[in-house]
Amino acid sequence: MESDAALIKINRFLKNKNNYNGKIYAVRNEDDNIAPLILELERVRRGRDQELVEVIFVDDHSEDQTSAILQRYTMKSPWLKVIRLNRQSGQNAALRYGVKRAEASLIVTLDGDDQNDPGGGSYIYNEQRL
């Protein structure tokens, strides 16, 4: 019974989403990592015929230049969205906020510390198509 209710909620949620892929990065004080990560995401997108349409960075109230760097990139990269939290809330809260704001139907969540492969998650997208 409980799992049926959960599936109904998930199905309703997905009906309101678009049929494309997305990634959500939770970031905080990552000004050294953000620009290289975005440049790598751009390279990955070009190599995949722009398959990955939506990328959301949720800035967990950074105290460095992370927010300013992200804002500069959003001006020239329409596929990139930035959400800045008005107070530090933690990684899980940041990711949850990003998922709620995402338009993609299939989402992968990652850290913005450049430890994850920006091309990663493709296996999930590929499995979904099968």
Report whether pLDDT(22) > 90: no
Q: What is the 3-state secondary structure (H, E, C) of 29-53?
A: CCCCCHHHHHHHHHHHHHHCCCCEE
Least confident of 11-20, 64-73, 95-104: 11-20
pLDDT at 77: 87
How buried is residue 42: exposed, middle or buried, by Cβ count under 10 Å (0-12/13-18/19+)? middle
> For the domain 18-129, what is the CATH superfamily, name and number?
Spore Coat Polysaccharide Biosynthesis Protein SpsA; Chain A (3.90.550.10)
The continuous run of DSSP H or E covering 4 comes out as helix 2-15
Domain ranges of the chain: 18-129
* DSSP for 87-99, written as a single string: S---HHHHHHHHH
Q: Are 41 and 89 in contact (CB under 8 A)?
A: no
pLDDT in tens, 84-130: 999 999 999 999 999 999 988 788 887 776 666 555 554 444 444 44
Q: Tell me the whole-structure pTM to 2 decimals.
A: 0.75
Q: What is the pLDDT of residues 73-92, one digit of tens each?
A: 999 888 899 999 999 999 99
